[in-house]
Amino acid sequence: MSDIPASGGRFAVRLALGLGLVVAVGLGLIWALGGYQALLDWVLVEQRRAQSTLAAALRALRGGAPGAMAGLMVVCFSYGVLHAAGPGHGKVLIGGYGLAQRVRLGPLAAVALAASLAQAAAAVLLVYGFFAVLGWTRARTEGVAEQVMVPLGTLAVMGVGLWLCGRGVLRLWRGRPEVGAHAHVHGPECGNAHGPSPEQINQIGGARDVALLIAGIALRPCTGALFLLILTWQMGIALAGVAGTFAMGLGTASVTIAVAGLSVWAREGLLANLSGARVARVLPWLEVLAGALVVMIALGMLQQGR
Amino acid sequence: MFLGGVALCIGLAGAGLAAAHPHVFVDTGFEVDIDAEGRVAGIWINWTYDDLFSLIIIEDRGLDPDFDGVLTAAELAGLQGWDMQWDPGYPGDTYALQGGVALALSGPSEWSAAYADARISTRHYRAFAAPVVIGAAPLVVQVYDPGFYTAYAITAGVVIRGGRNCAAEVFEPDRAAADQILQDAMAEQAGSADVEMAFPAVGAAYAEEARISCAAGS
């Protein structure tokens, strides 16, 4: 009799987790069936509005209007949210990784936040290194961002995809996951097949993964942030620009953290509704699929060049 | 369940592929002079840049140091022609067509620039190789950046001077059709080894256009 509440509880957990998968698939379908275009159209209109508000906020700040600094931070945060919701690439990386690997939400969200702040820091370093210190022109500084950093960042994104994909393929190729787990016990993620302890499965797969994820996001600076940093430097309100850039970073982080949550929820929803043996069979496929997806998107980004 | 995951993947992939986005927004207007025989020698193009990009250009040039939104005569003189130094081969983002055939346009001339309400506006003229007769087929004028760094919208009006019973209409792009063209172009490129290839020049499919027509007869 004591089994009943326990299994009832398990059922509730499975249902709650399964709902995550339904939500994610539903969003994915809306996305695929034209919802994304609608979102992009909306982002375009809002981005245009945000650009005007940003210009007004900068002028107000320069003119010493009260509350102008707070206003600038709000505009920058919204700009970051818009950028991440529309064209931003961080959600692809974080979401792809969250689907592919059995990571806990906490560490994944922390990586998402760190990556967004690193992206802001990269923009600051770029502008202050080349534009402010070396005296390069705006066009030349933006050229470095577009022609050097963006391709490097895209390669890092592709690296994450290939890494996930390759790991999954290797596990499939080795056949039964148990064999794979014994073949390379050094990776904490490899213990999955045995029904390992939560501490083992819930770690982000090593410093290399964290570094690749952060590099993939941070190396592609947002043009909006470069505009802001260069403008505020020229206008003599440089610190406000740096603060605004980090406010943009927090804005993008709010979206990538939400995506991290959704990906973990969806993945656990799928796995919670499978038997233990099936989980072991499905996991490498998840890695392969999510990895291939990230690679495809990185190829798309290379073609667009921005 | 698994199919659901696959659907999610495909959706996300589509999202990544269509993610080009503009950083400069330009309100565009045209002016067309039509003679009594319905001939057009060229097009005047008006561009008004968004607040942020205008501020960037002003700051780049060290203008308006007191931030009062007004340029001195000397500053305004320095602003003339700033967006008219086109690289050879740059098509100027304005395209004219008639009956589906592209019409060649000259380089820009007679340009001017103004600064009002914290936004920069510029105006320039582009001539056809030979006068175009607006007859059975309307004159179509599109404005777009093939790489979509700049987003143009024909929101500043189309002015027609002269002609008989001539009128202009502005058409929105067919989004669904444009998306299909973009996806096809992407699919075509994905097969090639050259991943450094530029973003496919699909801007035309996303472009708004002004169609200028004159009523037949009279």
Q: Average pLDDT by consecutive 10-residue portion of chain A (306 residues)?
A: 56 79 78 71 86 91 88 94 82 88 90 94 91 82 82 85 87 62 41 40 67 87 89 91 96 94 88 80 85 83 60
CB contact under 8 A, A297 and B197: no
* Residue A161 to residue A155: CA distance in whole angstroms: 10
How far A208 CA sits from the closest chain B CA (Å)?
A: 24
Whether A178 contacts chain B with CB within 8 A: no
Summarize pLDDT for B126-139 with one digit per residue, the tens: 999 999 998 888 99
How far A220 CA sits from the closest chain B CA (Å)?
A: 14
Instruction: Select the more confidently predicted residue: B31 or A145.
Output: B31
Q: Mean pLDDT across the stretch B90-118? A: 90
Q: What is the dihedral of CA A41, A43, A47, A50, to 10 degrees?
A: 130
Structure tokens of B205?
Answer: 């499919």
- Average model confidence (pLDDT) across chain B: 80
pLDDT band at B196 (very low <50, low <70, confident <90, very high): very low
* Residue A194 to residue A117: CA distance in whole angstroms: 37
CA dist list (Å): A158 to A166, A294, A297, A300, B19:
12, 7, 8, 10, 16
Query: Taking a contact as any Cβ pair under 8 Å apart, which residues of chain A between 212 and 241 contact chain B?
Result: 223-224, 227, 230-231, 234-235
Residues of B in contact with A99 (CB under 8 A): 5
Choose among B174, B18, B182: nearest CA to A86. Answer: B18
CB contact under 8 A, A296 and B7: no
* Residue A43 to residue A31: CA distance in whole angstroms: 14
Q: Which of B14, B23, B50 sits opposite A36 (nearest CB)?
A: B14
Give the pLDDT score at A54: 93
Burial class (CB in 10 A: 0-12, 13-18, 19+), A74: middle
**Mutation choice for B interface testing from A29, A288, A303, A306 by most B CBs within 10 A:** A303
Choose among B151, B155, B123, B142: nearest CA to B212. Answer: B142
Give the pLDDT score at B211: 92
Give the pLDDT score at B60: 87
Residues of B in contact with A234 (CB under 8 A): 59-60, 62
CA dist list (Å): B114 to A223, A299, B111:
26, 42, 10
CB contact under 8 A, B200 and A303: yes
Cβ neighbours for B81, distance < 8 A, ≥ 6 positions apart = B111, B113
* Residue B119 to residue B48: CA distance in whole angstroms: 7
* Residue B47 to residue A56: CA distance in whole angstroms: 20
Radius of gyration over every alpha carbon of chain B, rounded to an integer in angstroms: 21
Residues of B in contact with A51 (CB under 8 A): 25, 50-53
CB contact under 8 A, A58 and B15: no
Give the pLDDT score at A304: 59
Nearest CA in chain B to A290: B9
pLDDT more than 70, % of chain B = 74
How far B98 CA sits from the closest chain A CA (Å)?
A: 29
ipTM score: 0.75
How many CB atoms sit inside 10 A of residue B7's CB? 18
The 8-class DSSP code of residue B97 comes to: E
B30-69: buried (b, 16+ CB within 10 Å) or exposed (e) per residue?
Answer: bbbebeeebbbebbbbbbbbbbbbbbbbbbeeebbeebee
How far A187 CA sits from the closest chain B CA (Å)?
A: 26
Range with the lowest mean pLDDT among A25-34, A280-289, B21-30, B181-190?
A: B181-190
Residues of A in contact with B62 (CB under 8 A): 234
How far A197 CA sits from the closest chain B CA (Å)?
A: 26
**Cβ–Cβ < 8 Å for B53, B103:** no
Instruction: Select the more confidently predicted residue: A232 or B199.
Output: A232
Helices (H), chain A: 3-30, 36-62, 68-85, 90-100, 105-126, 138-144, 150-173, 177-183, 198-201, 206-218, 223-235, 238-272, 276-304
pLDDT band at B144 (very low <50, low <70, confident <90, very high): confident
Q: Which of B1, B149, B176 sits opposite A273 (nearest CB)?
A: B1
